Amino acid sequence: MNKKDLFNLAKEAMKNSYAPYSNYNVGAVLLCENGNIYKGCNVENASYSTTNCAERTALFSAVTNGEKDFEAICVVGGKNGEITDYAMPCGVCRQVLAEFCDADFKVYVGVSEDDIKEYKLCDLLPYSFDKSKLGD
């Protein structure tokens, strides 16, 4: 599965985005090390703070299905479903990804099949707080 495939799957996931309050639609696709993929979209709520981002929807779905090892995520998004810029994962999603993913986990954000940026999770969340700090 290459990054263009991931981009197109993330766009598909974005179609199911439920975002009546922000009208900012997001789709994500998470690639597991075993090749399985899990899609997610943002799911908003009238009680705004309970909104779930697309990245966390995808991750929680994967974990629910027994996945533990992850290779990459691709995220797309835009106002009214129009992808005009890179949809960078929010801080909360970076932290949640860091619970399960290694420093070199890849984060793709794309505007088109030919315009996809790649980051490492450790560069998006440097000096992170993680389970290693909690000891045994």
Active-site position among 12, 55, 113, 118: 55
Question: Does residue number 107 form part of the binding site for ligand THU (CB under 6 A)?
Answer: no
Known catalytic membership, residue 55: yes
Report in angstroms how near the CB of residue 89 gets to ligand THU at its nearest: 4
Phi-psi region at 81: left, alpha or beta (left = phi > 0; alpha = psi -120 to 50): left
**83 belongs to the binding site for ligand THU (CB under 6 A):** no
Closest CA to 73 of 102, 32, 123: 32
Can residue 93 be called a binding residue for ligand THU (CB under 6 A)?
yes
Q: Residues 19-58: x/- map of binding to ligand THU (CB under 6 A)?
A: x--x-x-x---------------x-x------x-xxx---
Q: Does 97 bind ligand THU (CB under 6 A)?
A: no
Nearer to ligand THU, 37 or 124 (CB): 124
Per the structure block, which two tokens stand in for 132? 């290693």
Question: Which stretch of DSSP H or E encloses residue 107?
Answer: strand 106-112
Please give the Cα distance from 94 to 126 (Å, whole number): 10
CA dist 107 and 118 (Å) reads: 6
- Which residues does residue 41 pair with via DSSP β-bridges, in sequence order? 27
Name the site residues for ligand THU (rule: CB under 6 A): 19, 22, 24, 26, 42, 44, 51, 53-55, 89-90, 93
The residues annotated with a catalytic role in the active site are: 55
